[in-house]
Chains A and B, each alone.
Chain A
Amino acid sequence: MTQIARIRAFICAEFAPDIAPQDLPADMDLIQSGVIDSLGVLKLVAFLEDECGVAIAPEELDAELYRSLEAIAALLASKTEVAA
């Protein structure tokens, strides 16, 4: 499973068990659609740190950065670029 597929599976299992992961559109607004709320952002950040091995800085606890799967992928990409 790719990293983004694992995140997708986590989001569906944790926040929207009724959505099949493959059905969750990459550009869907997760905040606006009520899938993730402020508490959900914290859970997601914990998942990203534990499972994807990235460090999220306190100033990155901004819901805007997690607004969609695409946004999360972009955030992860920026982290891995810095690491590389």
Chain B
Amino acid sequence: MNQLSPLCLSPAAFADSLLRASPDARILDAAARPVTMADLRGEVARLRALLSHLPEGPVALCAAKTPLALAGLLAILSDGRAYAPLDPAHPEERLTGILALLRPVAVLVDGPAAARLAVWAGAEGLPLIALDAHARPPARGALPAAVGPEVTAVLHTSGSTGTPKQVRIAAPALVAFNRWVGQEFALTPGDCLLSHAPLAFDLSFLDVFSGLTAGASLALADAETARSGERLLRLIDSAGVTVVQAAPSALALMVRAAEGRRFPAVRAVLFAGEPMPAATLQAIFATFPAARITNIYGCTETNDTFFYDVPRANTPDPLPLGQPLPYVRHVVMDEAGQPVAPGEEGELWVACPTLMEGYSDPALNARAFADWQGVRHYRSNDRVRLGADGLLHFLGRADSVQKISGHRVDLAEVEAHLARLPGVVELAVFVTEREGDRRLECAVATDGRALSSLDLRRHAMTGLPAPAIPRRYSIGPDPLPKNSNGKICRRMLARLALAL
């Protein structure tokens, strides 16, 4: 399946292996219209010719997720460059902030992205290249490349301060990951993977790169489709999707829209990125009756590092992170950087071949990397514990513990407990501050049944101490606001709560 030798792992060789691995694959757009690999290769060749005269350096990609955008991505790699996917749903300020940090030699754009970036790019002398262009843009003067030639993908994640962190990933990391996915989930050219996550999100590595490596077909959900459970189900059905990977909140959209319909052709459902509510999980079992259901844990910096196959009976709640991927080394550390005794709480450190090269910011690297037993580890900032079941359990982000009127409250624990109340589809707990008064608030999206804050408080009392019980509730059937990675955005919720 994977013929790559470890020696030829440049972006170009990586792109070449993807294009050669899948002669019969089809790339379907959100309306399930197929593009053959031969046609895709033609587009890749055309776009590569537009890039080949540019000075050395990364090329950004800002476009809706279509087969043509995928051709643009592969053309950038094929020309021996790192690709930096930007989410067109992001505010303009964030996009230009990322571009200013990245200093790409050009940006591949679709029409709407071109309109949004034209003024800024014009002032900066940054060429915008339309994905449907045939003529080369004028080359700009060579700038010192901000990203080295070993880098294949440059992703940007939201830092806790709101400043994006630039994550640099080399081709060997992607190849190692593709090999694991292909083997663990037995991907074949007969499979079709739903690509739900935006290209700017690392979840897309599995859909796009692992899928193509296995010769499988891809069904690309654009942003509009990704927000609609009904459209996603229609795409799954008409594209013949066999493998679904999405954030829990996206799966919640699908299973709510299913209304009793079942999709037995889906043989694997993978989810990652946030905790899975038990009620959503039950609905996933019903909607995808034949699927292996797998909880995957990882982050942009390391890619996936743990996984857990969810049993349909006696399902634990919350789900454990599970067992490490075969190539992952890990250790649970105390605050002094020494391993905790088995079963004790600590920060998860991981070492793996899928680890990023690093951030652009040396100060972030100094915090993120640490050596243990002579091996470079990534400090996850996640608190975990090894269970008596031999599986790793997630306890919360290091920063999910907040002080509320003098009490230490773990928001992740509060959310996990409240989310068990029947009727809860999505739930987030966050802290608001009014005139120095910090209090817990809770936002809930229900499945339509009339839940009151009294129900939530009563349920909270069964498992939480009084200081950990939210003081204010907003409850309704509408989905909670998400960031473009599909994760519930607590910062937005807190802002909304304060505006009321």
Please encode chain A, from 26 to 41, with 1 for each CB lying within 8 Å of some chain B CB and 0 for all others: 0011011111010100
Chain B positions within 8 Å of A19 at CB level? 452-454
The reply to whether the CB of A18 lies closer than 8 angstroms to some CB of chain B is yes
In the assembly, what is the distance between CA of A37 and CA of B469, in Å?
11
The reply to whether the CB of A81 lies closer than 8 angstroms to some CB of chain B is no
The reply to whether the CB of B470 lies closer than 8 angstroms to some CB of chain A is yes
Q: Which of B453, B461, B468, B469 contacts A18 (CB 8 A)?
A: B453
| In the complex, chain B residues 449-492 whose Cβ is within 8 Å of any chain A Cβ | 452-454, 457-458, 460-461, 464, 466-475
In the assembly, what is the distance between CA of A18 and CA of B474, in Å?
8
Cβ–Cβ contact B454 & A23, under 8 A: yes
Chain A positions within 8 Å of B464 at CB level? 34
Best-buried of B452, B466, B469 by chain A (most CB within 10 Å): B466
Chain B positions within 8 Å of A33 at CB level? 457-458, 460-461, 466, 469
Tally of B interface residues using CB under 8 Å: 19
Cβ–Cβ contact A18 & B452, under 8 A: yes
Cβ–Cβ contact B457 & A35, under 8 A: yes
In the assembly, what is the distance between CA of A61 and CA of B111, in Å?
67
Cβ–Cβ contact A18 & B472, under 8 A: yes
Closest CB of chain A to B114's CB: distance in Å?
46
Closest CB of chain B to A41's CB: distance in Å?
12
Closest CB of chain A to B345's CB: distance in Å?
25
In the assembly, what is the distance between CA of A16 and CA of B468, in Å?
15
In the assembly, what is the distance between CA of A39 and CA of B471, in Å?
13
Cβ–Cβ contact B473 & A31, under 8 A: no
Q: Which of A15, A24, A37 contacts B454 (CB 8 A)?
A: A24
Closest CB of chain A to B277's CB: distance in Å?
21
Chain B positions within 8 Å of A16 at CB level? 453, 457, 471
The reply to whether the CB of B373 lies closer than 8 angstroms to some CB of chain A is no
The reply to whether the CB of B405 lies closer than 8 angstroms to some CB of chain A is yes
Q: Which of A15, A18, A23, A32 contacts B466 (CB 8 A)?
A: A32
Contacts known (A15-B471, A17-B472); A34 close to B454, Cβ less than 8 A: no
Cβ–Cβ contact A34 & B473, under 8 A: no
Closest CB of chain A to B405's CB: distance in Å?
7
Cβ–Cβ contact B453 & A34, under 8 A: no
Tally of A interface residues using CB under 8 Å: 17
Closest CB of chain A to B389's CB: distance in Å?
31
Closest CB of chain B to A27's CB: distance in Å?
12
Nearest B-chain residue to A38, judged by Cβ: B405
Cβ–Cβ contact B460 & A34, under 8 A: yes
Chain B positions within 8 Å of A39 at CB level? 405
Cβ–Cβ contact A37 & B405, under 8 A: yes
| In the complex, chain A residues 27-79 whose Cβ is within 8 Å of any chain B Cβ | 28-29, 31-35, 37, 39
Nearest B-chain residue to A40, judged by Cβ: B471
Cβ–Cβ contact B461 & A29, under 8 A: yes
In the assembly, what is the distance between CA of A71 and CA of B468, in Å?
23
Chain A positions within 8 Å of B467 at CB level? 34, 37
Closest CB of chain B to A79's CB: distance in Å?
26
Cβ–Cβ contact B452 & A32, under 8 A: no
Q: Which of B405, B461, B473 contacts A32 (CB 8 A)?
A: B461
Closest CB of chain B to A30's CB: distance in Å?
10
In the assembly, what is the distance between CA of A35 and CA of B457, in Å?
8
Closest CB of chain B to A65's CB: distance in Å?
16
In the assembly, what is the distance between CA of A50 and CA of B467, in Å?
28
Cβ–Cβ contact B457 & A34, under 8 A: yes
In the assembly, what is the distance between CA of A37 and CA of B457, in Å?
14
In the assembly, what is the distance between CA of A24 and CA of B464, in Å?
20
Chain A positions within 8 Å of B461 at CB level? 29, 32-34
Nearest B-chain residue to A32, judged by Cβ: B461
In the assembly, what is the distance between CA of A33 and CA of B458, in Å?
6
Best-buried of A18, A24, A31, A35 by chain B (most CB within 10 Å): A18
Chain A positions within 8 Å of B470 at CB level? 34
In the assembly, what is the distance between CA of A50 and CA of B470, in Å?
28
Chain B positions within 8 Å of A15 at CB level? 471
Nearest B-chain residue to A16, judged by Cβ: B453
Chain A positions within 8 Å of B405 at CB level? 37, 39
Closest CB of chain A to B203's CB: distance in Å?
35
In the assembly, what is the distance between CA of A16 and CA of B460, in Å?
14
Chain A positions within 8 Å of B468 at CB level? 34
Nearest B-chain residue to A35, judged by Cβ: B457
In the assembly, what is the distance between CA of A35 and CA of B474, in Å?
15
Nearest A-chain residue to B442, judged by Cβ: A18
In the assembly, what is the distance between CA of A29 and CA of B458, in Å?
9
Q: Which 3 pairs from chain A and chain B are nearest by CB?
A: A34-B469, A18-B453, A33-B457
Task: Pull 7 A–B residue pairs with CB atoms less than 8 Å apart, ordered by A.
Answer: A19-B452, A19-B453, A19-B454, A28-B458, A32-B466, A35-B457, A39-B405
